[in-house]
Amino acid sequence: MHILSIAGSDPSSGAGIQGDLKTYSALGVYGLTVVTAITSQNTLKFSNVEEISAGIIKDQLESVLSDFKIDAIKIGMVYSSSVIRAIYSKLKRKKIPMVLDPVFKSTTGGVLLQINALHDFKRMLVPLAFVITPNIMEAERLTGMRIRTRNDVRRAAVQIQQMGAKNVVIKGGHLNGKTVTDFVLEGTRFYSFSGKRTLHTNHGGGCSFSASLAVSLAKGRTLSDSVKFAKEFTMESIKNSQKVGKGIFIVKANSVDKIEKDLANAISDFSNIKNVYKLIPECQTNFVFSKPNPRSLDDVLGVSGRIVKTGETVTVAGSLKYGGSKHVASAVLEMNKKFSSIRAALNVKYDTRLIRKGIAKRFSVLSYDRIVEPLKTKTKEGYTISWGIRNAIKNAKRPPDLIFHKGDVGKEPMILLFGKEPKDILTKLAKLV
């Protein structure tokens, strides 16, 4: 999975491009960058800024967009009208989810958006945003309003939405109170998430929020789930802030569950296989990875909405979720009962060529016959796969690499690949395609 950050460089690595990359690394996705400005700042003060020329910004964007499949874009510091116009010229026709994080002023006082650039910011970048994420002060500057109450926030969100942003998240850290409430205007629905206020000023919290929000959206989560995830991730990052310099604390992004990281990376690699759409069955595909010694479907991570064929590409239609898969997860659970090392599985379209290649490569290839399946399992939703795997491996001396069945009346034939972890399955698949 590839997330692009368009933002300024921060030599303290608390915010900006460097802060975004820390978040992406922690969340197990690949971060790409387009630098818009070079700043001189640390945890004590902001010294200077120099924008990157419009020509180089366009070249950076062209380089990235022509080589990588971008799953989401986060836009941070843009500084000037020339930078804004350069970005707009390359992104105005792109159908990629964009998170726009207005960056007007640094925590240590530096001006990060020129006053005369605000008009172009609202006219060009705001309409590109799937979601825009200003804090209270940034929302005030965008709208010209004074924001002090929840009703003020709602009116400001509506006004920002009318500028063209599809959805609006106004971060409420600058409102008074013991809790921090973030407000969401999703279409016409207005709601909020609250959390405990931290005790110290930090550098990089805003970038952490918008970057993790972009990652969550790219993984197929809803806006509501993504905002909740980003808020929780950011609060944990702030809690773990480090005093690495002489001034304010810098947020520290914690790594996600290694299981999720490994599976997310594998799904990204799977999606980029040449002609991968030919591997997707009519019932679509899932890729799963379980916790050690899984006891139930809730111990198996999978795609909640499956990996689906979209023309000659594939799309991850859902988010990674424990309990998100039923059928492929059931196969792993059944396999793990006999071979505890097997924790990952992937289903692909039935193809005799894949089976023959597997046999030629000395894979352990097993099968089961759905025609002889007892009626009592056929009539119970979700029981077939467990019955099939159990029967296929009952006499197996070693874990199978591949199990297939030829279907039944109204039932699609299928191939299942198994491995100790997701990358094992990709290695096996590479030998078959």
CATH of the domain at 9: 3.40.1190.20
249 and 300 in a single domain? The answer is no
Domain range enclosing 357: 259-432
Q: 3-state class of 242 per DSSP?
A: strand
Q: How many other CB atoms are there within 10 angstroms of residue 89's CB atom?
A: 14
Distance CA 189, CA 207 (A): 25
User: What is the average per-residue pLDDT within 278-296?
Assistant: 94
CATH of the domain at 311: 3.40.225.10
Looking at residue 161, its pLDDT comes to 97
- Of 269, 419, 277, 295, the closest CA to residue 349 belongs to 277
Distance CA 179, CA 171 (A): 12
Is the pLDDT reported for residue 326 higher than 80? yes
pLDDT interval class at 97 (50, 70, 90):
very high
Is the pLDDT reported for residue 372 higher than 60? yes
167 and 250 in a single domain? The answer is yes
User: What is the average per-residue pLDDT within 312-335?
Assistant: 90
Give long-range contacts, CB 8 A cutoff, 24+ apart: 113-118.
Answer: 113/77, 113/78, 113/79, 113/80, 114/79, 114/80, 114/81, 116/81, 117/78, 117/79, 117/80, 117/81, 117/83, 117/84, 118/142
pLDDT interval class at 48 (50, 70, 90):
confident
Looking at residue 379, its pLDDT comes to 59
Greater pLDDT, 232 or 153: 153
377 and 273 in a single domain? The answer is yes
- Cβ atoms of residues 131 and 122 within 8 Å: no
Greater pLDDT, 142 or 113: 142
249 and 343 in a single domain? The answer is no
- Of 36, 136, 166, the closest CA to residue 90 belongs to 36
Distance CA 372, CA 48 (A): 75
Looking at residue 353, its pLDDT comes to 96
Is the pLDDT reported for residue 111 higher than 90? no
Distance CA 346, CA 316 (A): 14
Is the pLDDT reported for residue 174 higher than 70? no
148 and 129 in a single domain? The answer is yes
Looking at residue 198, its pLDDT comes to 64
Greater pLDDT, 52 or 238: 52
Distance CA 325, CA 62 (A): 38
Looking at residue 370, its pLDDT comes to 86
242 and 304 in a single domain? The answer is no
Strands (E), 343-410: 344-349, 365-367, 402-405
- Given 228, 256, 284, which residue is the final one in a domain? 256
Looking at residue 221, its pLDDT comes to 81
Burial (CB count within 10 angstroms: exposed 0-12, middle 13-18, buried 19+), residue 84 = buried
- Given 240, 256, 272, which residue is the final one in a domain? 256
Q: How many other CB atoms are there within 10 angstroms of residue 233's CB atom?
A: 23
User: What is the average per-residue pLDDT within 19-34?
Assistant: 90
Share of residues in the chain with pLDDT > 70 (%): 92
- Structure tokens of 56? 């180089």
Greater pLDDT, 172 or 430: 430
- pLDDT tens across 395-407, in order? 999 999 999 999 8
Q: Give the count of domains, the chain.
A: 2
30 and 60 in a single domain? The answer is yes
185 and 245 in a single domain? The answer is yes
Please give the radius of gyration of the chain, using alpha carbons only, rounded to the nearest integer.
24
Highest mean pLDDT among 53-67, 379-393, 398-412: 53-67
Q: 3-state class of 8 per DSSP?
A: strand
Least confident of 256-260, 372-376, 377-381: 377-381
111 and 45 in a single domain? The answer is yes
- Of 363, 333, 352, the closest CA to residue 413 belongs to 352
Is the pLDDT reported for residue 172 higher than 90? no
DSSP class per residue in 56-82: HHHHHHHHHHHHS--SEEEE---BSHH
Looking at residue 244, its pLDDT comes to 72
218 and 357 in a single domain? The answer is no
Contacts for 244 with CB less than 8 Å, ≥ 6 apart: 43, 250
Looking at residue 264, its pLDDT comes to 87
Greater pLDDT, 360 or 243: 360
Is the pLDDT reported for residue 124 higher than 60? yes
- pLDDT tens across 177-221, in order? 667 789 999 999 999 988 776 656 666 678 889 999 999 898 888
175 and 47 in a single domain? The answer is yes
308 and 166 in a single domain? The answer is no
- Given 225, 256, 287, which residue is the final one in a domain? 256
Is the pLDDT reported for residue 258 higher than 60? yes
